[in-house]
Amino acid sequence: MTLLDSLRGPQDLKGLGPEELTVLAAEIRDRLISTVSANSGHLGPNLGVVELTIALHRVFDSPRDPLVFDTGHQSYVHKLLTGRQAEFGTLRQPGGMSGYPSRAESAHDHVENSHASTSMSYADGLAKAFRLRGELDRTAVAVIGDGALTGGMAWEALNNIAAAKDNRVVIVVNDNGRSYAPTHGALAAHLAHVRTTRRYESVLDSVKTTLPRAPLVGTPLYETLHGIKKGIKDVLQPQVMFEDLGLKYVGPIDGHDEAGVERALADARGFGGPVIVHVLTRKGYGYPPAENNDEDRLHQVAAGTDPLTGTTVKAAARTWSHVFADEILRIAGRRQDVVAITAAMLHPTGLAPFAAAYPDRVFDVGIAEQHAVTSAAGLAMGGMHPVVALYSTFLNRAFDQVLMDVALHRLPVTFVLDRAGVTGPDGASHNGMWDGSLGQLVPGLRIAAPRDALRLAELLAEAVDDSTGPTLLRFPKAPAGDEVPGLGRLGGMDVVARPAEGLATDVLLVGAGVMAGVCADAAGRLADQGIGALAVDPRWVKPVDPALTAAARDARLVVTVEDNGIAGGFGDAVARTLRLAGVDTPVIPFALPQEFLDHDTRRDILERAGLTGRDIARSVTEAVSGRGSQDEVVGSR
């Protein structure tokens, strides 16, 4: 049995000696590399916090002292040290361990999160609650990376934490110079200077060793200089920024020196008020393939990665992100006014080729989606056409900016949402199942959903060519797949399946985006049952095409299919449009259930939601034949 496997929980760490801690750190890294390479997940971030996490659990008393990991993608070491070693092999597998903190898994996980810049707000609230309850020996700990510090919410929290001098909050800044890729912005440059400047330490060392030996004035003078060390820091090292906010600052500390980190954390815990402990770590530490990866230090690896080399064994399929990367580069070549904005996701969203070709026209604003959207509004006001590329789940954080800063001004900004719909193993917080509903609320926003790679190119070009107001393009995290051919046009919609010869149009199937292919499959299955189905791809799911209203008048049933939450999405928009037009044809919406979905494969989640051609054909057959009421069919989705 390894030392790691012998641990029953964090308390067992406290009795280990230095040599055992070194062995434990090596065993943890071995387990991380073998498991994450096989299952997929976040590798680089966890390799970088091994010693830090060990020290955290040796100093603090989890779960009584809550450890809140910002974003949560560096929580695997925490999971291994809190009694979940036996289940770690199920990481990100169906029914297995979550890739993020999970309250259902352990009392040591206080927060279920994967959206950045939130940890200090949680810690602020927890510390306030402890004080109000008289639990004055409890400390709230926030572990936040320098990448997450680029988010405005982090600074809102700091503003409040600094004002509450008696609240026991320890903020651990895990500073590795990266979020997904190298961190950008003035704060990043500020912290980078801390990492590379040693003049401050050398000056203080000289003062400490020389002045106390001077007769009579030596000790008093040293105390005076010690009292004005903040001034020395101002000149020689920019860490004073935190102390200017009124926060006690400790650091910078070598994050891979477990004993040094432990001493700093113990001092912070004993302070009794808000403290920032600045820890310098290296993302991917101890694993050469990660340390030598300049793009993202193997931030996230796919299942089946070779643990010896860090390379994917199976060739990666061409994804929707790759298609977007090619198309936006082509558009940028012919449109000098097109610029791109992303929030710390240059490579994941496919903007890296654009940035390489036109570096002055791509802006990575860090983890700051709200700023990204309003900055895009300013660019549009200045005569440019911004393309804001984000993961779908992260646009949720900037809804007010989309509504009030872009749409209210009818500005030509194009939002490109990667990872829309079901993302699968990344879990509940990453599924992009909300944007389709939020977008329906925004006046003047047009929403496009391509069914295949060819349509992505077409719709992206149409979106960028629209100068009348904002547009939004959404696509999933998946291989781009085969083309779903169009058989003609119905208004602005593409027909993807017609009723078989001799059959009337009993059912109008309307599939948003990739669900158009599912509708084409369902139409073929319905034909086998003698039911005529016309399947269309609306291409633009907002506004609803007037031709859809006309076609609905001639059908016995309208079925909408989307990979978005069922409440307030495309299906609701179609039903409302038909109602207002006086069309009484029943509408059955197929969509994702309005709930937080457990992590699983994308395919299995869609199957459980009934979003397959087989399930839709069966439900529609029952509805048309009268074997199931409309309410029963809708209620099953």
Active-site positions? 283, 369, 397
Q: DSSP of 42-109, one letter per residue?
A: E-HHHHTTHHHHHHHHHHS-TTTS-EEESSSTT-HHHHHHTT-TTTGGGTTSTTS--SS--TTT-TT-
Beta strands in 348-504, from DSSP E residues, in sequence order: 362-364, 385-391, 414-418, 446-448, 471-474, 489-490, 493-497
- Are 58 and 13 spatial neighbours (Cβ–Cβ below 8 Å)? yes
Integer distance in angstroms from the first to the last C-alpha of the chain?
47
Q: Which residues contact 370 (CB under 8 A, 6 or more apart)?
A: 152, 397, 398, 400, 401
DSSP conformational letter for 366: -
| 557 three-state secondary structure | strand
Omega before 63 within 30 of 0, i.e. cis: yes
Among candidate residues 551, 466, 461, 473, the one with its CA nearest the CA of residue 512: 473
CA atoms within 13 A on the CB side of 77: 25
3-state SS, 270-283, equals: HHCCCEEEEEECCC
Q: Which residues contact 150 (CB under 8 A, 6 or more apart)?
A: 117, 179, 183, 184, 185, 187, 188, 344, 365, 366, 367, 368
The first and second tokens of residue 407, run together, are 């749409």
Q: DSSP of 560-613, one letter per residue?
A: EEEEEESTTSHHHHHHHHHHHTT----EEEEEE-SSPPPP--HHHHHHHTT-SH
User: In the sheet where 140-145 sits, what is the strand order?
Assistant: 67-69, 140-145, 169-175, 275-280, 248-254
Among candidate residues 590, 604, 571, 602, the one with its CA nearest the CA of residue 419: 602
- Cα separation values, 380 from 391, 460, 551, Å: 21, 17, 37
For residues 73 and 88, what is the distance between their CA atoms, to the nearest angstrom?
15
Q: DSSP of 202-246, one letter per residue?
A: HHHHHHHHHGGGSTTTHHHHHHHHHHTHHHHHHHH-TTHHHHHTT
Q: DSSP of 182-200, one letter per residue?
A: B--SHHHHHHHHHHH--HH
Q: Which residues contact 563 (CB under 8 A, 6 or more apart)?
A: 420, 421, 422, 433, 476, 512, 513, 514, 515, 591, 592, 606, 611
Q: Residues for the chain: how many in total?
A: 637
Beta strands in 281-360, from DSSP E residues, in sequence order: 300-301, 338-342
For residues 535 and 247, what is the distance between their CA atoms, to the nearest angstrom?
61
Among candidate residues 510, 496, 453, 455, the one with its CA nearest the CA of residue 478: 453
C-beta neighbour count of 490 within 10 angstroms: 18
